[in-house]
Chains A and B, each alone.
Chain A
Amino acid sequence: MDSLHAIGFYVSSAVLLIGGLGVALLPGRPLRGAALALSGVGLAGIYVSLSAAFAAAVALICYLACAFMVAGPQYRSVETAVGPLWRQLGALGAAALLAVLAYSAFRGDFVHASYSVGPFAARAVASLMLAHDVLATEAVAVLTVVAIAGATAAWRVRDRAR
């Protein structure tokens, strides 16, 4: 990877990590939505630096849509009855997960892998998704339709209950 791609990768990683920490720590749904949108921008930047521009475009659209839903007026907060001890245990578990993933990445024999810049290749990705791996694409499409229909039904039930 040349210096330009490497700088883009590290800057985008920093943007993504800052956005992720904002999703975890910022109060209020507009700020959380903005942090999620920032995460989407960083993720798209990482994909571009990895020469996956089509994935970058799709990820940017999807994460901006997620940010809109999180920051939107339909949002309702649901307070769970979990005590602070369990939350702290969850944070410790996330730290342990980070340690395990970092150790496995460091100890893996990936140092000599070579990088090769690729084209935009939207047509090639489309043919891969719609011809070669069509079953996976259709499964994700069914999941998306069911999830959005379920969300719409849940919102309609909520509106009727008011």
Chain B
Amino acid sequence: MSANLVSVFFVAGGIVAVGAFAAGWRRDAAAAVAAVPLMFAGAGIAFAGVARFAAAGGSHLVGQELAVLLAITALALVALGLGIAGREATR
């Protein structure tokens, strides 16, 4: 059994699509915010996979760095989105 870069891209695309589906399907706006980390996870997987597979002999760390920054950004966006949604809920 083996996995290659195409497998990584399939998984990344699937996660981005699941995140888009969750954002569009949820009637609750605060629940749709929870889909943002899923789409960011797909992007992070693609970055980490490209850095690991396609940079043979070079630096493998750029994709890992971008994955770290995407995870932190997803956390910040969820906090902001839930804060704004909670404020709108009181109106």
A binding-site residues for B, Cβ under 8 Å: 1-3, 5-7, 9-10, 13, 16-17, 20-21, 23-25, 29, 32, 36, 39, 43, 46-47, 49-52, 54-55, 58-59, 62-63, 65-66, 69-70, 74-80, 82, 87, 89-91, 93-95, 97-98, 101-102, 104-106, 108, 110-111, 113-116, 118, 121, 124-125, 128-129, 133, 136-137, 140, 143-144, 147-148, 150-155, 157-158, 161-162
Question: Could you write out 19 A-B pairs with CB less than 8 Å apart?
Answer: A1-B3, A13-B14, A16-B15, A16-B41, A17-B11, A24-B25, A58-B71, A59-B41, A59-B67, A74-B86, A78-B30, A82-B27, A87-B24, A101-B16, A115-B53, A125-B65, A143-B73, A144-B73, A144-B76
By beta carbon, the residue of chain B nearest A148 is: B79
CB <8 Å contact, B27 and A17? no
Complex CA distance for A24 and B14, rounded to whole angstroms: 13
Complex CA distance for A118 and B64, rounded to whole angstroms: 11
Complex CA distance for A10 and B34, rounded to whole angstroms: 24
CB <8 Å contact, A17 and B44? no
Complex CA distance for A106 and B10, rounded to whole angstroms: 8
CB <8 Å contact, A55 and B48? yes
Complex CA distance for A7 and B7, rounded to whole angstroms: 12
**Which residue of B11, B28, B87 is within 8 Å of A77 (Cβ)?**
B28
CB <8 Å contact, B20 and A113? no
B binding-site residues for A, Cβ under 8 Å: 1-31, 34-35, 37-38, 41, 44-45, 48-49, 51-54, 56-57, 59-65, 67-69, 71-80, 82-90
Complex CA distance for A13 and B9, rounded to whole angstroms: 11
Most chain-A CB neighbours within 10 Å: which of B21, B29, B48? B21
Complex CA distance for A20 and B23, rounded to whole angstroms: 11
By beta carbon, the residue of chain A nearest B62 is: A128
Our count of residue pairs bridging A and B at CB distance below 8 angstroms stands at 279
Other than A82-B27, A151-B79, give 6 A-B pairs with Cβ distance below 8 A: A16-B15, A23-B22, A66-B78, A97-B16, A128-B59, A148-B79
CB <8 Å contact, A158 and B90? yes
A60 → chain B closest CB, angstroms: 9
Residues of B within 8 A of A16 (CB): 11, 15, 41
CB <8 Å contact, B86 and A113? no
